[in-house]
Amino acid sequence: MSTVAKKLQTAFTVSGDGLGETFDSALLMGENEATTLDLTNPLGITQVDFIFNESGFNDPFYNAAGFDKTNLIGICANSISDKIVFTDVSNPSSFSVNGSYDNIAYINQPQSEIAVDSANEVCFVTSGSTAGNSGQKTIQVLDYSTISSPTLGPYIDLGTAGPSNRYGTTIDETNQVLYSTTGGRIYSYDVSDLAGSGIVELDNYYNATDIGGMRGMVVDVANEVLYGCNYTQDKLVSVDISDPANLVALDTVTDATNLNNAYTVELDTYRNLAFVYCVGGAINCIDISDPSNMVLKSTLTGYGGSGQEQTIAIDTFKKLVYLKARLNSGNRIHVVSYTPSGAMTAEGSTALGTSNEGGILNIYNKV
> In this predicted structure, what is the pLDDT of residue 162?
46
Are 88 and 147 contacting, i.e. CB atoms less than 8 angstroms apart? Answer: yes
> In this predicted structure, what is the pLDDT of residue 5?
29
* Cα–Cα dist 351/38, whole Å: 14
* Cα–Cα dist 81/109, whole Å: 8
Read off the pLDDT band of 354 (50, 70, 90): confident
* Cα–Cα dist 22/352, whole Å: 22
* Residue 4 belongs to a domain: no
Look up the domain containing 120 and give its range. 16-364
Residues sharing a CB contact under 8 Å with residue 244, sequence separation 6 or more, in sequence order? 172, 175, 177, 188, 190, 202, 203
* Residue 11 belongs to a domain: no
* Cα–Cα dist 41/318, whole Å: 11
Task: Return the higher-pLDDT residue of 2 and 47.
Answer: 47
* Residue 8 belongs to a domain: no
Count of residues in the chain:
367
> In this predicted structure, what is the pLDDT of residue 367?
59
Are 46 and 351 contacting, i.e. CB atoms less than 8 angstroms apart? Answer: no
Q: Model confidence over 201-228: pLDDT tens digits?
A: 999 999 988 988 888 999 999 999 999 9
* Residue 9 belongs to a domain: no
> In this predicted structure, what is the pLDDT of residue 208?
87
> In this predicted structure, what is the pLDDT of residue 364?
92
Q: Quick count: other Cβ atoms within 10 Å of Cβ 138?
A: 27
* Cα–Cα dist 281/287, whole Å: 20
> Which range among 57-66, 287-296, 329-338 shows the weakest confidence by mean pLDDT?
57-66
Read off the pLDDT band of 237 (50, 70, 90): very high
Mean pLDDT, residues 70-74? 94
* Cα–Cα dist 19/317, whole Å: 6
Smallest CA-to-CA distance from 241 within 294, 202, 288, 210 is with 202
CATH code of residue 299 = 2.130.10.10
> In this predicted structure, what is the pLDDT of residue 11?
36
> Which range among 68-72, 286-290, 324-328 shows the weakest confidence by mean pLDDT?
324-328
Mean pLDDT, residues 41-66? 82
Domain count across the chain: 1
Contacts 24+ apart (CB under 8 A), 5-14: 5/72, 5/88, 5/90, 5/91, 5/367, 6/70, 6/71, 6/72, 6/90, 7/71, 7/72, 7/90, 7/365, 7/366, 7/367, 8/70, 9/69, 9/70, 9/364, 9/365, 10/365, 12/317
> In this predicted structure, what is the pLDDT of residue 104?
79
* Residue 1 belongs to a domain: no
φ, ψ of residue 346 in degrees (nearest 5): -75, 120
> In this predicted structure, what is the pLDDT of residue 254?
94
Mean pLDDT, residues 264-286? 95
Q: Is the pLDDT of residue 273 over 90?
A: yes
* Residue 2 belongs to a domain: no
Mean pLDDT, residues 98-121? 85
pTM of the entire structure? Answer: 0.91
Q: Model confidence over 177-199: pLDDT tens digits?
A: 999 988 788 999 999 999 888 88
Q: Average per-residue pLDDT in the chain?
A: 86
Angle value at C-alpha 183, between 218 and 113, nearest 5 degrees:
35
* Cα–Cα dist 308/277, whole Å: 11
Q: Is the pLDDT of residue 58 over 50?
A: yes
Q: Model confidence over 317-345: pLDDT tens digits?
A: 999 999 998 877 778 999 999 999 999 99
* Cα–Cα dist 268/233, whole Å: 24
Residues sharing a CB contact under 8 Å with residue 91, sequence separation 6 or more, in sequence order? 5, 366, 367
Residue 222: burial class (beta carbons within 10 Å; 0-12, 13-18, 19+): exposed
* Residue 69 belongs to a domain: yes
Residues sharing a CB contact under 8 Å with residue 268, sequence separation 6 or more, in sequence order? 20, 274, 275, 314, 316, 319, 338
* Residue 7 belongs to a domain: no
* Cα–Cα dist 125/161, whole Å: 17
Are 137 and 125 contacting, i.e. CB atoms less than 8 angstroms apart? Answer: no
